[in-house]
């Protein structure tokens, strides 16, 4: 059900978002926020990506393209709740999708972001999938997932070099949950983060 905040702005719930309208308004918490760097120029941002979650725990992916990062980068903070106005919609397709929502949102130059300071939403950003579902092939691998388990092994850290000569760190870890084992590859700063816990 849509929520009306003022006489002029109507906010939709995430599960109502579809391609029938070109522009959407919603209230949601930024539960994940990260930068995607240009693969050929690692210090140059390509986009800001985020996962938004509403009060009903519905989630949708949203993107700020490179040309608009300057406009929104200082307004968005992970864990904070906002009203978003004038976001466009597109199909959520391809591999490595962050949500199961059939659509994703895109920030436009006309988009408006306003922090809702008095609304504290205590929602976990995690949506754990049992390791058994991953290793059995039940889980659709087009979607990113959260797993939790006991760390049972850490590989040897090494550096890899891509085609343009940029190097990054790589390490493989092993997780176990209820007798099911899974290997995960960590790249770049996540290797350093792992090392601080060992």
Residue 178 confidence (pLDDT): 93
Between CA 51 and CA 125 the distance in angstroms is: 9
Cα distance from N-terminal residue to C-terminal residue, the chain: 47
DSSP reduced 3-state for 134: helix
Each residue of 142-198: pLDDT tens digit?
999 899 999 999 999 999 887 777 778 888 999 999 999 999 998 888 888 988 988
The 10 Å CB-count burial string (b at 16+, else e) for 117-147 is eeeeeeeeeebebbbeebeeeebeeeeebeb
Query: At 58, is the pLDDT very low, low, confident or very high (cuts 50, 70, 90)?
Result: very high
Q: In this model, does residue 5 exceed pLDDT 70?
A: no
Each residue of 72-93: pLDDT tens digit?
989 999 999 999 999 999 999 9
19 alpha-carbon distance from chain centroid: 21
Residue 163 confidence (pLDDT): 75
Each residue of 110-136: pLDDT tens digit?
999 999 987 666 677 888 999 999 999
Domains of the chain: 3-115 (2.40.50.140), 131-197 (2.40.50.140)
Between CA 100 and CA 147 the distance in angstroms is: 16
Q: What is the reported pTM? A: 0.82
């Amino acid at each position: 059900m849509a929520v009306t905040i003022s006489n002029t702005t109507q906010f939709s719930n995430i599960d109502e978002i579809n391609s029938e309208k070109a522009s959407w308004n919603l209230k949601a918490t930024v539960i994940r926020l990260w930068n995607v760097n240009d693969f050929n120029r690692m210090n140059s941002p390509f986009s800001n990506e985020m996962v938004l979650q509403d009060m009903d725990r519905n989630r949708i992916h949203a993107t700020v393209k490179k040309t608009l990062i300057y406009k929104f980068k200082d307004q968005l903070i992970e864990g904070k709740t906002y009203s978003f106005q004038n976001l466009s919609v597109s199909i959520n397709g391809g591999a490595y999708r962050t949500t199961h929502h059939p659509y994703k949102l895109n920030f436009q130059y006309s988009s408006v972001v306003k922090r809702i300071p008095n609304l504290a939403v205590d929602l976990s950003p995690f949506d754990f999938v049992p390791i058994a579902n991953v290793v059995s092939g039940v889980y659709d691998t087009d979607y990113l997932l959260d797993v939790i388990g006991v760390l049972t092994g850490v590989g040897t850290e090494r550096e890899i070099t891509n085609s343009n000569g940029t190097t990054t760190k790589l390490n493989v870890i092993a997780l176990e949950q209820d007798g099911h084992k899974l290997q995960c590859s960590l790249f770049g700063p996540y290797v350093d983060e792992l090392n601080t816990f060992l």
